[in-house]
Structure 1
Amino acid sequence: MKNKHLVKPDDFTVEEIDSIIELGMQIKQNPREYIKVCEGYLMATLFYEPSTRTRLSFESAMSRLGGKIIGFSDPNASSVSKGESLEDTITTVSKYVDIIAMRHPQSGAAQQAASVSSVPFINAGDGGNQHPTQTLTDLLTIKSCMKRLDNLTIGMCGDLKYGRTVHSLAKAMSRYKNIKFVFISPEELKMPEYVLNDLGDTQFIETNSLDDSIAELDILYMTRIQRERFEDRDEYERLKDVYILDSKKMENAKSDMIVMHPLPRVNEISTDVDIDSRAMYFEQAQYGMYVRMALIMKLLGISK
């Protein structure tokens, strides 16, 4: 995996993904054994779009491995504000660092950047397209909580049209055995046809009812209705609170079902769910740091 780029989850084989998940689990068990493995390495975090969890997760991951970080969290503070092209920015930055992580609001920007990067490039989210490190985070969370990545019924609820996290996770999980998806959304926010077409023979159903679906799920993946993706503000206001998971709904779920969410949440998960032992979304954020530590090590070709 050394020197590879990660633009979308299927850039890696299932075996490569499994090796990242395994290393992430080892790091989680003994994080202090990895505190100097990236000493002398430099990462660039280039965030053309606001982010809290993803940016800090990458920066925490590299810092915990002993490496250093440069970059920006506001493109207006970079030469982008002077009209520099994305290709020129990436070509230049890759002369300074050993690895790059980039978030961009434009779908397809990650592939564009990776095509000119001379160092390993990681897509930290490109518009409504892909978010592969969130997918790795989700896989590590599922493996840690459920002890498997097969034989699962996974409900994805909310914004399935613009939600890049569910697009990437659906594609990734469809590569494992005996997976069933339940896609729960209003008609306006259904899973895109191109994602459904990528699922191959994986079984799925589409519904608009969370109440009717929750009892059969092993995993419920909630998503935020994303205001920033809507051009029509009235449509956003109409749909923003269409699904709200609360403790009452959780009474109908399996005792070992887990609730996941890529965060940030707004109203889609009531705070009374936070104390439920099945709520895994804050732990999920921590798993994200461990899996990014593993990914950085793999792409740099570093072993403990």
Structure 2
Amino acid sequence: MEFAGSHILSVDQFERPDVERIFEVADRMEPYAHRRRITRVLEGAILGSMFFEPSTRTRVSFGSAFNLLGGEVRETTGFEQSAIAKGESLYDTARVLSGYSDVIAMRHPTPGSVAEFAGASRVPVINGGDGSNEHPSQALLDLYTIRSELATRGRSIEQLRIAMVGDLRFGRTVHSLSKLLALFPGVQVVLISPRELRMPEGIVEHLRASGHSVLESEELESSIAHVDIVYSTRIQEERFQSQEEADLYRGRFRLNQSIYTANCEPNTVIMHPLPRDSRDNARELDDDLNDNPNLAIFRQADNGVLVRMALFTLVLDVVDQVDREARDVNWYTARRF
């Protein structure tokens, strides 16, 4: 695809060379993300950060990525603090706010809403999650993390064995990740969930049509025995009709150190898009995994900055200018920025 000036709304936009291009640029962003070098390639540029649904990692990660490239961030959080609460349409909001920004990162609880907004925007829009539909930048950072973790084991994404666990019906991260995995050959996917929270049939069919092995299961322990990655998700309680309905499934699949030791291969990587639910009746990833070196959830979160820096530089067409605008710094000086 042609990245410059494009919206990033769905992983359906990408072919494998596009994903590899994003990862190549993300690799180049590493010294800037870790403050060993400073670039001001986006000095004077403004990111409109519009998050109409609760977010911590995604919102701050987008903002940090833009700041690290020298740009500034203007935030809108929650419907109650926006003109949408006064009845303004997405069309009007897009027409106005795209006049104040060079690029917009947006999250909205309604599926398809970010694409609707992008249709009226005068600047590129990056989807930060639209309801239970998609979360393309999360899927990219997840796949980037899989690539990085497997590389330390002398492996690649090809022939990956992955188990996705939890709320696969409403979990937009696994929807987008599954579509990206379909671009790579020989992937084996195990989908572990309650029957009522199974992966949407269209996504399962897409994986199988791409030549991948897909097994659906309601049993955790036997299903994680021979995989490279266990990708756990929380129950998306905000998507249910009631709290009582969500509570029926909370805590159904809990991974702790004893279950990991008894069932997983020694180097199985543990991932989670976060936040993990640490309440006593949930704990899909128990705290006793925190010292497990294969717990990659925080490395995964760190990679979000790299991938989002890559997306900004590609969409705003400044990739080739980054190094020319950079200078080396020591750790203390870099932290002052």
TM-score range, shorter chain: over 0.9
Give the whole-Å Cα distance in 2 for the aligned partners of 1:6 and 1:30: 23
Deviates more, 1:122-131 or 1:13-22: 13-22
Partner of 1:254: 265
Distance across 2 between alignment mates of 1:26 and 1:300? 16
Instruction: Find out whether 1:263 has 2:271 as its counterpart.
Output: no
The separation in 1 between residues aligned to 2:17 and 2:254, in whole angstroms, is: 36
**TM-score, reference length from structure 2:** 0.88
Aligned to 1:70: 74
Runs of 4+ that moved beyond 6 A? none
Greater shift, 188-197 or 278-287, is seen at 188-197
- Aligned counterpart, 2:160: 152
Q: How many residues align?
A: 304
What displacement does 1:123 show? Answer: 0.3
Farther off after superposition, 208-217 or 10-19:
10-19
Are residues 1:205 and 2:215 paired? yes
Answer with 1 or 2: which has the greater Rg.
Answer: 2
Indicate the residue corresponding to 2:25 in structure 1.
23
The answer on 1:242 being equivalent to 2:252 is: yes
Corresponding residue of 1:302: 318
Q: What secondary structure does 1:231 align onto?
A: coil
Q: CA deviation at 1:29?
A: 4.3
8 Å CA contact 1:49–1:73 kept in 2: the answer is: yes
Is residue 2:53 matched to residue 1:49? Answer: yes
Please state how far the C-alpha of 1:17 moved relative to its aligned partner.
Answer: 1.3
Aligned partners of 1:129 and 1:236: how far apart in 2? Answer: 18
The alignment status of 1:282 with 2:298, answered yes or no, reads yes
RMSD: 1.2
Shift in Å, 1:138:
0.3
Match of 2:241 among 218, 231, 243: 231
Q: Is the 8 A contact 2:190 2:216 kept in 1?
A: yes
Mapped pair 1:14 → 2:16: yes
Q: Gaps spanning 5+ residues in structure 2: where? A: 278-282, 323-337
CA distance in 2, matches of 1:29, 1:184: 37
30-39 or 11-20: bigger deviation: 30-39
Shift of 1:23: 1.4
The 2-side partners of 1:57 and 1:30 are apart by: 14
* Residues 28-37 or 45-54, more deviating: 28-37
Equivalence for 2:102: 98
| 2-structure distance, mates of 1:39, 1:233 | 45
Structure 1 residue runs without a partner (length 5+)? none
Report if the CA contact (8 A) 1:21-1:291 is conserved. Answer: yes
Does the residue aligned with 1:61 lie in a helix, a strand or coil? helix
Partner of 1:195: 203
Q: State the distance in 1 between where 2:19 and 2:301 align.
A: 18
Structure 1 residues 61-111: Cα deviation after superposition (integer angstroms, max 9, x where no partner): 101111001121122112111110011101111111110100000011011
Amino acid at match of 1:277: P
How far does the alpha carbon of each residue in 1:181-235 deviate from its partner, in whole angstroms, 9 at most, with x for none?
0000011100011211322222201001110011111011000012111113333
Residues 155 and 181 of structure 1 are in contact (CA less than 8 Å); yes or no, is this contact kept in structure 2?
yes
Q: TM-score, normalised by structure 1?
A: 0.97
**1:214 alignment counterpart:** 224
